[in-house]
Structure 1
Amino acid sequence: MGIVLVSHSADIVRGLKQFLRQFQPNVPIAVAGGTDEGELGTSAFKIKEAIESVYSDKGVLVLFDLGSALLHAEMALELLAEREGIQFADAPLIEGAYAAVVEAGCGSGLDKVRNSAEKAKQWQKVIRDE
């Protein structure tokens, strides 16, 4: 299964991908950061291409940094010919991506990978409450 990281900054998702590769080098990870012009922002076309590059019958999980990135990810989904097995995670980008990549590397299915990513929100709460 593939993971797509979406951010308003190309540098953030490139660095995050490099970080995650150290834990699970065999999980396909694609990034979509910045606009088509190389500025801060997101691009539905970049997200679409990223999803296509890691798409398989095992599915794709998309994680994003800010709400407008979700809007562009939804637009990207509309542009795709194949939409089955693509899910978005409501998770913090870094912690969620880490949990998702580790779970995917263990061979888990898309639903379990998404759930692991979304549980990462709880990590933030535990850290704040300490």
Structure 2
Amino acid sequence: MTAVIYARYSSDSQREASIEGQQRDCKDYAEKNGITVVGTYIDRAYSAKTDDRPDFQRMIKDSAKKIFDVVLVWKLDRFARNRYDAVNYKYQLEKNGVHLVSAMEPISQGPEGIMVESMLIGMAEYYS
């Protein structure tokens, strides 16, 4: 199984170290789960409240090329802080055969996982 890492930070109060930490945790998760990381997409100083993020958009487009199976994020709030964008872009990934995985938030497959994921995205939107 192959994955790309998507990492981002949103403001000057966060730093490049935030990106490094996200990548480190995602790589650790990948190694423990037999996933090969084949690339990284990074948006620096971009909010996840909007989908106007250059590397995020490039990653979504690249998912159609079938070169990776998983998008690995540190936490779901790195992917989106807007539930509509989260659902829309996760659907696009799944349509391309790509799964979204959070390294720090264990989310099961099935009905319970759907509820947990929905709550996490809702909380990210609420606190943003």
The alignment's TM-score, normalised by the length of structure 1, stands at 0.41
TM-score if structure 2 supplies the norm length? 0.41
- Structure with bigger helix share is 1
